Amino acid sequence: MTIADDKIGELDAHGTAGVTAVTTTALGLLLLFAQYSVVPIDLQDKRIYLPGTQDTISRPLSLEISEIDLFNQVNRIYDDLLKNQIELDTDFKRVLYGNLWNLYT
């Protein structure tokens, strides 16, 4: 479990405003795929509400991307690097370090 996941879990358990913000962000991204830029009917009658979101496809995506989304990406990369990290094979290392001086550009 990542640090962010852990924190999100804590917030989730208590139902705080923090988890509301996280949920809102996730919902925002989901809605992005369910919206349309042009409504097929005239919406002069303000009592009519369509299930999608009118006209927001042209808004910057960053309206839907928050700091926690960025942080989650950084965290994902950190986890990926940690999980997949490997040492250089001994033979490869020997060849590399034995020729360093000549390999410098």
Partner 1 sequence: MESLHVSPENDIFDQIRVFLPKYLTEEQTRHLFSELSKFPENLNFYTFRPELQEPFLQGDGWRGFVVIDFLTGDRKEVSGMILSNSCDVSPETLRDLPVNVLFAPLIQLSRYAEILRQAGKTEEQIENQIRNIKKQYVTSIFYVPQCPGSIEDSIILLDDIHAHPLQDFLGRQRRSLFTLNQYAFYIFLLKLSIHFSRFREGIDRFDNAA
Indicate which single residue of 1, 2, 10, 48 sits in contact with partner 1 (rule: CB under 8 A): 10
- Which pair of tokens denotes residue 67? 């700091």
Partnered with residue 54 across adjacent β-strands are 36
Half-sphere exposure in the Cβ direction for 6 (13 Å, CA): 4
Contact in structure between 74 and 2 (CB atoms under 8 Å): no
Give the footprint of partner 1 on residues 50-89 (CB under 8 A). 60-63, 65, 67-71, 73-74, 76-78, 80-82, 84-89
Binding site for partner 1 (CB under 8 A): 4, 7, 10-11, 14, 16-19, 21, 60-63, 65, 67-71, 73-74, 76-78, 80-82, 84-89, 91-92, 95-96, 99-101, 103-105
